[in-house]
Structure 1
Amino acid sequence: MYFRVAPLAAILLSSIAELSTALPQESSPPPPLCHYILRSSNSCGGGSPYQSQVNNWDFSFSIVDAKDHKKKRFTKILPNDLKPWEFSISREDYKGPHNMWVRGQLWRGDYHWNLCRISFDEGEYIEGKREKVDIDSGIVSVVTSKCVVEYEC
């Protein structure tokens, strides 16, 4: 049996081309995740007259890598008042991929965040996950409360 090589090669090449387009394209890995954290900390005093006067509140917003919690990308100290916080953070502020609008409010009576949400790039707000209140009792007690939104970095 005698075959011509050129027509056979053309058929094989066209078959290979069709098969390669049918294969799934290699997908790029998903972007890394970050934790966008609203945090409150209250230091309140103990038994002595001086200690009983201690009642300090600190509020902050930070962006931390989800895998490596020690790698902070951005921190913003928030004013110490009872008003709900509403602020924007631009890509340039933290050298990241998103513009954000953050809304938060802490209920100081029980240290829980009753408002915690973030909008990325003018999209819908993503509701944060409220974490358990952490109480470190000592001479001066420290109560820490967090609300976390997990989203791509």
Structure 2
Amino acid sequence: MNPPVLPKARIMLVDDHAVIRKGLALLINQQKHLAVCGEASSVEEARRMTSLLKPDLMIVDLTLGKADGLELIRDLRQDEPNIPVLVLSMHDEEIYAPQALRAGARGYVMKQDAVYQIFTAVDEVLAGRVYLSDRMKRQSDEPDAAS
């Protein structure tokens, strides 16, 4: 008897750069437990597709052309509170990760991080946990971080 086939987690990608979306989709679709269910290049497209696709996780960039990814995250938290958001961005995590988490994101990964870190973040967020890099965890543990 064959083992049961577990459903793949459905991930939607939101980035205004097609090459980033396509490259990330190739990497994600190589994982046995993950599948890209949709891609969006703008805030408007992301809002439309999210309500149709109901992904298990969204990976969102902070800079979406002239639009603000933080605003999209806030809207998603209000409209689709059960869909977790992981930010994948080029922007400095020390500055933007706290803002993204306050907006409703469940994790923050930088685009220059190693691929395994992106998948670690995806797995953590899908498991219902918040993902922060080791550097951000150390920073939040420092006594001065609270002030």
Q: TM-score, normalised by structure 2?
A: 0.30
Q: Taking CA–CA contacts closer than 8 Å with sequence separation of 6 or more, which of the two structures ends up with the larger relative contact order?
A: 1
State which structure, 1 or 2, has the greater radius of gyration over its C-alpha atoms: 1
Question: Which one has the bigger strand percentage?
Answer: 1
Q: Which has the higher helix share?
A: 2
